[in-house]
Amino acid sequence: METAAIMETPKTDKIAVEVKDLNAYFGSLRAVKDFSLNMLEKKVTALIGPSGCGKSTFIRCLNRMHEVTPKAWSEGQVLIHGEDVMKKDPVLLRRNVGMVFQKPQPFPSMSIFDNVAAGLRLNGLRNKSVLAEEVEKSLRDSALWDEVKDHLNKPGTSLSGGQQQRLCIARALAIRPSVLLLDEPCSALDPISTAKIEELILELKSNYTIIIVTHNMQQAARVSDFTAFLLLGEMIEYGVTSKMFTNPGNKKTEDYITGRFG
């Protein structure tokens, strides 16, 4: 794998996610091949590559969603803030590693408020005023508060696609994760909603480590600090985004980002 010039990581940049020799399988099919990389705390890391290259499979290994699929399994090690994810209770792990999916999926029978409060209630929070404070904070953090504050009791599904996606981000943020996984969060959204999510990502990175899967090259270039290019389950190149998009180190990366294949 080629990387941008590797320099000593300054002490202020802590490693949030450490992946060592990770392989992920669906039965006998190896979808992720020997990934080893570090992702830095409070930075945005983008994963790019053609469909089927293993991007989503890889991030699903980080919060153990991968193993939920029948016959899916993985080997190797993933450490989040130094803790081996395989040794953690998956429910506790997913509290710390939030995830937002391609298609906004608010809980259909719940109001806007309840969608955000759901995770908190599951964690035992019952105090109404604390709950209201936490919901407001999460909705503010996901830049949705001003648009929904006057109708928190309306169903989550009554919102526009872009608002629903921000609602899902608010829901993920409510339980205060340290890592946020975004799996093509804008692919079903219009350009204005996409721009709002991108702005949100840039704001959120001051508090969260964000890993985003995207098919949109410009989006990866705009929002991420580091980019990994994946192809057929292999990590071809991983490095600083600005370099990757102006002067990639690998011919395959060059060919992909300039649209010669994929």
**Hey, what long-range contacts does 78-87 have (CB within 8 A, 24 or more apart)?**
78/17, 78/18, 78/19, 78/20, 78/22, 79/17, 79/18, 79/19, 79/20, 80/16, 80/17, 80/18, 80/178, 80/179, 81/16, 81/178, 82/18
Cβ 13 to other proteins, closest distance in Å? 6
Cβ 238 to other proteins, closest distance in Å? 7
- When the beta carbons of 140 and 243 are compared against other proteins, the nearer one is 243
User: Is 158 in a helix, a strand, or coil?
Assistant: helix
Residues forming contacts to other proteins in the complex (CB under 8 A) are 1, 3-7, 9-10, 13, 15, 36-40, 45, 217-218, 221, 225-226, 238-240, 243, 245-248, 253-254, 257-260
Q: Which one, of 72, 38, 45, 24, lies nearest residue 180 by Cα?
A: 45
Cβ 18 to other proteins, closest distance in Å? 10
- When the beta carbons of 158 and 218 are compared against other proteins, the nearer one is 218
- When the beta carbons of 186 and 217 are compared against other proteins, the nearer one is 217
Cβ 185 to other proteins, closest distance in Å? 20
- When the beta carbons of 1 and 118 are compared against other proteins, the nearer one is 1
- When the beta carbons of 61 and 173 are compared against other proteins, the nearer one is 61
Cβ 247 to other proteins, closest distance in Å? 3
Q: What contacts 189, CB < 8 A, 6 or more positions away?
A: 161, 162, 165, 197
Q: What contacts 121, CB < 8 A, 6 or more positions away?
A: 131
